A and B are shown apart, each in its own frame.
Chain A
Amino acid sequence: MALPTLVIRADAEMGIRRHGREAYPHECCGALFGRDQLVTEAFALPNATGEGARRRFLVRPADYRAAERRAIELGEELVGFYHSHPDHPARPSRYDLDHAWPVFAYVIVSVEGGNPVALTSWRLREDRSAFDEEPIALESHGENEKQTEERREETGEA
């Protein structure tokens, strides 16, 4: 079964990659705001894990609540969360599956040696048995942002 495409605004996607690079070698995490299959904003949150931030992330209840409040302030909805996989593929782990919430988009960015590479999005199956990958499309407001990002990639500037 093919899932519908998740559309991510280019600046939100860039924000996820930047956060992944800044947090490396630790995992970053954050909330995704938008509506239905559109992500308009990525909202960085602290990684509060006590189990080793190189391979775990945790959004505390207080930060979750703050994210829901922020979504309402923006007139948007909380549509999912993102996190990074430092030096690990952009596929959900067993641990991701065991802790997943339904409905949300789970965006994962793989960060290899400090450089964000693959970025994927996943949805939990209704019976919690697995994640299914959904296609991603970027919505750009013009070419400027893309070129800016490419320059940052080249210079390594955060």
Chain B
Amino acid sequence: MANKILIPTPLRAYAGKQDVVEAEGGTVGELLANMTAEYADLRNHLYTEDGKLRNFVNIYVNDDDIRYLEKEQTPIKPGDTVSIIPSVAGGGRA
């Protein structure tokens, strides 16, 4: 059973110009892996070279940040909505 994943504006170009995609998986990690198998161009903007989620990429299950759940092991139930939400960060001097 597929779950909805909400795609933020800057990533829609890499997800077939869609704001919602669907993927299957028992955990957040599986869901995201199945999503990036279908939309490979998303991978570079979500993961570092060693395969970790970038620290300014926030993944929410419904209204909860997976950092405060079980991270990528967080289980997904039918009807759960997963959101990819950017933290936008930067600055001047290094």
Binds B, one of A5-13, A82-90, A134-142: A82-90
B10 contacts A93, CB within 8 Å?
no
Chain A residues with CB under 8 Å of B86's CB are 59, 61, 64, 101
Q: Which of A51, A65, A88 has the most C-beta atoms of chain B within 10 angstroms of its own C-beta?
A: A65
Q: Which residue of B lies closest to A99 (CB)?
A: B89
Interface majority SS (helix, strand, loop, mixed), chain B: mixed
Contact-residue size bin, chain A (C-beta under 8 Å from the other chain): 35 or more
Bound-state Cα–Cα, A25 to B67, Å: 32
B58 contacts A57, CB within 8 Å?
no
Given contacts A68-B8, A102-B45, contact A29 B92 (CB under 8 A): no
Q: Which residue of B lies closest to A127 (CB)?
A: B44
Question: Known pairs A58-B89, A99-B56, A104-B9. 16 more at Cβ < 8 A?
Answer: A29-B88, A49-B91, A51-B91, A57-B89, A58-B88, A61-B58, A64-B86, A64-B87, A81-B88, A87-B92, A93-B92, A95-B94, A101-B11, A102-B11, A102-B14, A103-B9
Interface residues of B (CB under 8 A from A): 8-11, 13-14, 44-45, 56, 58, 60, 65, 85-94
